Each structure stands twice: as structure tokens, then as C-alpha cells.
A and B are shown apart, each in its own frame.
Chain A
Amino acid sequence: MRDPNNHEHHSNPFVAWVNGESKAKPEEEKKLTPTKEKRAAKSADVSVHHDRFHKAYKPLAVILCCAFIALLIFVCVKTPPFGVTDAPTNNEVAQKYIEEGLEDTGATNIVAGMILDYRAFDTLGESSVLFTAVMAVIILLKKDGDKKKEMTERQKKEEALQQHEEELNDRHRDVILKKTAGIVAPFIMMFGIYVVLNGHISPGGGFSGGAIIGAGLILISQAFGSKRTKKFFNFKVFTIITSGALLSYAALKTYSFYTGSHHMETGVPHGIPGAILSSGFILPLNIFVGLIVACTMFGFYSLFSKGEI
């Protein structure tokens, strides 16, 4: 290391300094001895500036925060109170949704009718955002399974350590967690499926139900080990479900997106409270959204923790 450094020393002291050579600095100082006093004065000036900045930093931050809080509170005070009838948000759009929503979409839950029929395009965008997020996480965090031969020694060591740790975890898995998960997990999954399937006749829908299912999957994986979940949920299944659900969603709503109408005639009766088959496409759309959300949640978890699904 020393020989090339010495070479570079004369030609380019900056490069030598970047390379981390210790001798670069003293020589620089030697060169600058005539202007040393000037330099010292300058650095003192800079340090004074630095000190001033540091002294002013905290009060300035507090003042800025207080100003921002005051602004937010001012805006909050100016907004109309909760539930006032003549607020600007209570316009003809909301009136139309509330009065004709049941007839148009057939969903007893007006929110589901809005997000999956009137504004189905928005929900498609949201599902695409989730899909894109999971793709980005896969690109960043997924371990490459095919390149095992090209791994360096350190990587191999790390892998072995991780495997050992996993085996250890399997052996010493918490009994309380295991037993509780065994009792609770089926109910969580059932509740999630219930919320998804009843999205159009009761509160809930694809997003909340999918999140519940995803959380249940994480609990199962955490309690019984990833080997159990891998039996029914591997990377292939994950890919098929996410892309398939997104494509099916788009396919079901393409007609509406192109023609601008509410929905296609499906032959399913509209607006029967309590009947699962009562609102056209909203039930399958809810199922697709729920699948995407559940897969995204579980995918995030397993990619973050193990680097694979």
C-alpha cells in the first residue's frame, strides 16, 4: 500500500488523502504555512459561526414547531364542526351516494359501494400501489436461491448461522405462544374471511379483512415456524395469487373503466340486506383486494425476517 501512495503523493495529494493516507495532511499544512495565520483566523470565524448555529438550533427548532402547531390548530378551529349539515363536504355528491347508492351498486354498506363501484378505479390504483411495494421489497430483500455456488465464505457462514438459529428457535419455541396461537389463529382467519366476504353488507371489506388474514398468517408463521406455512404458501403461490388477483380485478372492471358506466349487468340481485350474493361484482372485487392485501402483509413479514417467502 505504501509504494503507490508515495507515488501519488507528489502527483495528487487530494487522491492520497481520499485513499486514507495519513501523510497527506501534514504536507498540506507545510505548504500552507505562510497563510497559516489567515487560515487560523478563518477557522476561528467558522467555529464561531458553528457555535452560533448550535446555540440557535434548539430555540429555532422549538419556535418552528410551535409555529407549525399553531398553524395546524388555527386550521382545525376554522374547519366546520363534526357532523354539521351545511359543511362544504355535504354536497350533491354525498347526497347522490347516500340516496342512490343502494339502488346503483346494490351494496348495503355504502362505503363498499363507493370504493368498489363508483370509485373502483381508485381502488385499482391502491391495489397496484401495494403490488408495486411488494415487488420493490422482493427486488431489495429476496435472497437469490440459484447463486449458492458463487457465495463467498462469509455469506456461507452467515447462512449456516441463520439456519442454526432457526433450528434453535424451532426447538425452543415458546409453549404459551404455540398453545395460544393454536386456539386463536383459526378464529382470526375465520373472522378475516368473514369480513372479506361480508364487505358489501356489513362494515369492513377487502382491505380490513385482508389485513386481518395477513396478521393471522404472520401469527401462524411465528408460532409454528416457517416450514408449516411454506407447505401451503410458497413463492410460486404468492406470485400467482397477487398477480392473478390484480389482473382479475382489472378484467372485471375494464368494461366500466372504458364506458364510464357504473357496472355491468350481472344478473345478481341488488341490495338484499344480509344476503351474500346481492351486489354484482362487489363480492369478487372484495375477495381480490383481500387476497392482494393478505399476500402483501405476509410477504412483507417473511421478506423482512428471512429474505424469502
Chain B
Amino acid sequence: MKMVDGQMILVWILLGFLITCAIAATVTKNLLVTVLIFMSYSVVMSVIWIVLESPDLAGTEAAVGAGVTSILFFIVLKKVGALDTSKKKKHKDDSKESDKNARSE
């Protein structure tokens, strides 16, 4: 594959970002942040696919890795109650709702 030097540098930067993301995803304690890092990993990966001249894989990676998988993770986090921000929002929105939550808990 013929690569311009600028492209090579771009690929190296992106690969470095990938490794940083992979390590950060394992180190972070907050699950929401972990999913967001995972999402950015997928986005960077799809850019790398484009640079490596396989746009079909890039599209699949962006749709599945960054889109659907993260949404499934978010739903699961919401179901287990790991999303603190949504709870706070609910308290603001409706006091009755929070009462019900407290009772059920």
C-alpha cells in the first residue's frame, strides 16, 4: 500500500489514541465514562478503517461499535441503576416519581 507520509503520521497518532483509550477504559471507575471511552475507541477505529481503504468496515464499525453496542450498554447501565445523572434529573422532574422510587427501593 502506497502511503503518503502525512497519512502515516495520522495513522500513528490514531493508533496511539486507540491504545490510550483501551487502557483508560480498563482504569476508569465510573461505568458511564467507560462506555463513552469505548464509544470513542470505536469511532477512532472506524477512521483507521477508512485510512486503510476499507470503507465498508468503517461504516459497520461506526454503526455497530459506536452506535448500537453503546446504546445497549447504556440501557443495561440504566436498568442496573448505575447512571446517577438520570436519577438526579428524575428528582427534579417529579417529586412523586422519586417518592415511588424510594418506596420501591
Contacts and interface: CB of A to CB of B under 8 A. Distances in A.
A295 interface: no
Given A82-B1, A172-B93, A301-B75, A215 B56 contact: no
A205 B59 CA distance: 10
A205 B1 contact: no
A187 interface: no
B94 interface: yes
A101 interface: no
Interface string B54-93: 1111011001100110011001100100000000000001
A211 B63 contact: yes
Contacts of B71: 218, 222, 301
Contacts, number: 59
Question: Do most interface residues of chain A lie in helix, strand or loop, or is the interface mixed?
Answer: helix
B104 interface: yes
By CB atoms of chain A within 10 A, which of B54, B56, B71, B79 has the most?
Answer: B56
B76 A304 contact: yes
A204 interface: yes
A204 B68 contact: no
A82 B60 CA distance: 22
B29 interface: no
A252 B67 CA distance: 32
B56 A300 contact: no
A26 B33 CA distance: 48
Given A161-B104, A301-B71, A168 B93 contact: yes
A164 interface: yes
A203 interface: yes
A214 B59 contact: no
Given A111-B56, A203-B56, A211-B64, A301 B104 contact: no
Interface residues of A, number: 27
Contacts of B56: 111, 203-205, 208
Interface residues of B, number: 21
A198 B93 CA distance: 46
Contacts of B94: 168
A297 interface: yes
Contact of B59 (A82, A157, A208): A208
A170 interface: no
B63 A212 contact: yes
A83 interface: yes
B63 A215 contact: yes
Nearest to A191: B59
A82 B15 CA distance: 15
B59 A204 contact: yes
A165 interface: yes
Nearest to A161: B100
Contacts of A211: 59-60, 63-64, 67-68
Given A111-B56, A203-B54, 12 more contacts: A164-B100, A165-B97, A168-B93, A203-B59, A207-B60, A208-B59, A208-B63, A211-B68, A214-B63, A218-B68, A297-B64, A301-B71
Interface of A: 82-83, 111, 157-158, 161, 164-165, 168, 172, 195, 203-205, 207-208, 211-212, 214-215, 218, 222, 297, 300-301, 304-305
7 contacts: A161-B100, A208-B57, A208-B59, A214-B68, A218-B67, A297-B68, A301-B72
